[in-house]
Amino acid sequence: MSELLEGGTAGLADRAAALAAGDVTSRELVQRSLDAIDGVGAQLGAFRRVRHEAALAEADAADAALARGERAPLLGVPIAVKDDTDVAGETTPFGCVGDFPVVEQDAEVVRRLRVAGAVIVGKTTTPEFGQWPFTEGPGFGVTRNPWNTDHTPGGSSGGSAAAVAAGLVPAALGSDGAGSVRIPAAWTGLVGVKPQRGRVSTWPDAEAFNGLTCNGPLARTVQDAALLLDAATGNHPRERHRPPAPAESFAAAAAREPGRLRIALSTAVPFSGPPARLDPRVREQVERLGAVLEGLGHEVTPADPRYGLVGLSFVPRSTAGVREWAGRVPDPARLDHRTRENARTGALLGGPLLWLARRAEALLRLQLGAVFRAHDVVLAPTTAQPPPAIGAIDGLSNWQTDKRMIAACPYSWPWNVVGWPGVNVPAGLVDGLPIGATLLGPACSEGRLLGLAAQLQEVERWHERRPPVFAAV
């Protein structure tokens, strides 16, 4: 096995290249990943389901394909997917308690990952229906941050983020309906991509949470995130949202210089009901990144998107989505009381108000998009605070939970309403815990954002940092 793989610094692209060159077998990589999940990973609780036998069988099949001379972008590489995603032969409890039926067919995104050759080692944890930026719940317990296990890795893709940050897998798939890829990426020191709505399939759902939620990658490097995004990109013919194909692969975009860009540095908090205040330590790091970008030749000026009352469009869509998912669980009475309350709200708002919320999206795009008349990219905090302690929402009412959640994470959700892309990049450490900044763009601007993120990575070298809980696999 190569020195790179032995040192535990190999990413997704490195492992794919080592497999294609015959330097390592898929069985070796998958077994090491499984051992790390059972060992170091036990401290973190990142996985809801580990596919020991199935993953090794898939690895053997990948090794046979490699021996025949077959090649695919991720052939034989172990990755993980979130527990809201169907994997044939597994259940999809989406963070809930109960006896869920075994799924017979892969989700479209999993099918595409298999076509690319990936080996699915397991399904990662998420809070009920992905509602909170804290990955905790009675269905699986607590998921911990590898930088400090007394703190949350964020959510709702917290299991995927913890698994990648700790080196259990080189990359993982998450989903993002209000920041659920970008928030845990920020709080675990990763690159997290919320792509354009519809870029990555949500099938068997024609759309997820009324268009708010999309699937996206988490990885330690921009290049690995782009590679996974390329493999995952595509749609089922019956999906509602099907954006135009990108002009080039995302891997190519990440490898290309972005050119001189006009960047709006924004720290304004979108209005979302309960008050939120940006921690000055987070502000300092985001402004520092702005200075780095300026040093790279970009024009960086203070400017804020016109958020207005975008939250009025978000709530009907999100709560109606919770109501829909609540109808899929075997025993709704076992759901968290806050989930049941959100489902009831969704029932009240899911008629004419949901229709109006969706109709308002075109106006909101004009309103938010005004910032791109004078700027190419917006740089904003991903969260207002560093990662909270484990148990931060235990025993709270729904309103208290919303206040705690919004105080920590008020920034990400407007881009879910309009469906546009955003990329979290690590911004530094506060008290030894990672925080992030998000690069935001208009419709279908993933390539530009990835190129800019890759340019930042060359200077910041965040992929070279390792948390205290780390498995060198």
* Tokens describing residue 145: 């941050």
- Catalytic residue, from 26, 33, 123, 156: name it: 156
Q: Annotated catalytic, 201?
A: no
- Catalytic residue, from 26, 157, 160, 180: name it: 180
- Catalytic residue, from 82, 157, 160, 412: name it: 82
Q: Annotated catalytic, 194?
A: no
Q: Annotated catalytic, 156?
A: yes
Cite the active site residues. Answer: 82, 156, 180
